[in-house]
Chain A
Amino acid sequence: MTTVDTFSEGRDIRRIREDRTPSVATDYSNPPKGAAGNVARAGDGQPARSRSFSGSALLPFLLPVTLVIFWQVGSSAGFISDRIMPSPVAVVAAFWERLLSGELARDVGVSGARALSGLLIGGSIGFLLGIANGVSKLSEQLTDTTLQMLRTIPHLAMIPLVILWFGIGEEAKLFLTSLGVLFPIYLNTYHGVKNVDRDLLEMGRIYGMSGWSLFRKVIFPGALPSIFVGLRYALGIMWLTLIVSESIAANSGIGYMANTAREFMMTDVVVLALVIYAVLGKLADVIARTLERAALSWNPAYQDQGE
């Protein structure tokens, strides 16, 4: 029992940690040092060393594959009870069955749409507030203190209130996800704008830039590395919030799938839900990283760094 719990928990924690990696340099309690600080962090893969390793592309998968093999062997040999932890093969079978019936596509689609709309709404609000407060002193004085107070409230603590407000429908999930992603994006955008090189701003003004042109050519690109850190952190929070809110009450989505399966003791489907969350989380992070690398190709930290 103990071994099994640790194992499944371990997977989950590892995934969440991975999503949060970028926040380490920019955690709430430690205000980021701006673009420069984030850039230093950006090369988080020691490219030189891993490159000299032949077959380095496969190396990261050695550990998970080995673990899955041990897990399968343990299940087949009867060390791990099916009622506690299904074998990998059973999980794959559950995956196949739900894929063919179309349930999987529907649940993943619903969860994905929830996650994305939450990210879009909360992210936009956070981004706009971050830009406004970074650029305008008045806006900063009006809203920054309030936002800094609000962000210290764990957004999941709002669940009872949110249920009272919206019931258990889509609005509640949308609200929670939006609220969750708003603050990391706000904070990182705000600090990114605040930390744009003063010398470059002065240069821009000397060459006649102002308003939109100064924003487009100097402020926004200067803040972009920090905004991406916020985005990647927000993605982690986005999935976390979704999992929690779908577990409370839902009639569709991955969380719903897992909860229904729990009631019928279908451990294979529960584990399948965890795996799907892991894959979706990783996928979102990969997309964000690809965007980051494309948008920041000018930055030496992102050049010649194949992964």
Chain B
Amino acid sequence: MPIGPYQSPLAFISDAELDAHHASQLVEYQEASPQPAGLKLRGVEKRFGDNQVLRGIDLDVPAGQFVAIVGKSGCGKSTLLRLLVGLDEPTGGRIDFVDDAGRAVEPNSRIVFQEPRLLPWFSVVDNVAVGLGDGVPKAFGRREAERALAGVQLSEKAKDWPSKLSGGQRQRVALARALVSRPGLLALDEPLGALDALTRLGMQDLVTDVWRELGFTAVLVTHDVAEAVHLADRVIVLDEGRISLDLEIPRDRPRRHGDPALAEIEGKLLDTILGKA
């Protein structure tokens, strides 16, 4: 999937475009929208009955960093992600959201799942507007949603039903829905896992582009080590509920698919995960 020149979904709307009412709505709205939220985890634990899934996670993620979490099935990576966005509560330890100066911030976190989870009875643009939450004026919500759709190259599908879209397009709508409210933290739970290989590569570039444009903190959970290495500033390996490796990826962007230096890092990570290191 060729990705054209990226147009920000959130390019500032000029006042001329907006009547007074919408302008005041926008100011209010932008004040509420946070900056990227850094993460501070201290001794985070999660148990389901007798099953302890996370055994004391300590982790600092600076605001705006792109972190990938990899590991075998059942290592607790999805559980960790659900804790980060508040879908579950940790049974021990604490999670704080901080800015660069270490002050506590509201994270305004969003999550993208492996399935797009679009409402089939809403048009594409209305699905994106769901991301703004309730109580947003309809015309304003629609305008924001259209901008977000333009950001994922789907403007021409705005009025379609989700059932008319391909799998990759649906996932782009889900991404636009997550981004339309300008999150400070975006959690990605295997978001590309159900896509075919080529669509996947295109989506990886799109995710990189929106992340660089909007500057949120991104936490990606994936099975695919190559994807983690291609996208992230830093890869964390989870093993039986603990961090077994924390590795920076010191490569500039844009990164090329098949870069030998990245392939070497990938190999090293795979050795760790499979226990050969």
Contact = CB atoms under 8 A, between A and B. Distances in A.
Interface residues on A, range: 20 to 34
B163 A217 contact: no
Contacts of A207: 130-131, 133, 177
B120 A206 contact: no
Interface in B143-163: 161-163
Contacts of B121: 221-222, 224, 296, 298-299
Name, among A202, A207, A208, A221, the residue most crowded by chain B CB atoms within 10 Å (CB to CB).
A207
B134 A209 contact: yes
A263 interface: no
Interface stretch (B111-119, B197-205, B252-260): B111-119
A200 B119 contact: yes
Contacts of A50: none
Interface of B: 85, 87, 110-111, 113, 115, 117, 119-122, 130-131, 133-134, 161-163, 177
A203 B134 CA distance: 14
A235 B100 CA distance: 64
A206 B111 contact: yes
Given A199-B115, A206-B110, A208-B134, 6 more contacts: A200-B119, A206-B85, A209-B130, A296-B121, A298-B161, A303-B163
Contacts of B177: 207
B182 to A, nearest CB: 14
Contact of A298 (B111, B120, B131, B134): B120
A42 interface: no
A74 interface: no
A37 interface: no
Interface string A192-232: 00000001101110111100010001100110100000000
Say whether chain A's binding surface is mostly helix, strand, loop, or mixed. helix
A217 B113 contact: no
A31 interface: no
A47 interface: no
16 contacts: A199-B115, A203-B117, A206-B110, A206-B111, A207-B130, A207-B133, A208-B134, A217-B119, A218-B119, A221-B121, A222-B121, A296-B121, A298-B161, A299-B120, A299-B121, A303-B161
Contacts of B87: 202, 206
Interface string A265-307: 0000000000000000000000000000000111110010000
B13 to A, nearest CB: 22
Contacts of A209: 130, 134
A296 B163 CA distance: 12
Name, among A200, A203, A208, the residue most crowded by chain B CB atoms within 10 Å (CB to CB).
A203
A215 to B, nearest CB: 12
A204 B122 CA distance: 13
Nearest 7 A/B pairs, CB to CB: A221-B121, A208-B133, A203-B117, A298-B121, A300-B163, A298-B161, A213-B134
A189 B119 CA distance: 19
A14 B110 CA distance: 54
Nearest to B111: A206
Contacts of A199: 113, 115, 117
A248 B37 CA distance: 74
Contacts of B113: 199, 203
Given A199-B113, A200-B119, A221-B121, A298 B130 contact: no
A207 B126 CA distance: 13
A147 B10 CA distance: 53
Nearest to A214: B134
A208 B132 CA distance: 9
A199 B174 CA distance: 13
A304 B161 CA distance: 13
A217 B115 contact: no
Contacts of A297: 161
Contacts of A203: 113, 117
A200 B117 contact: yes
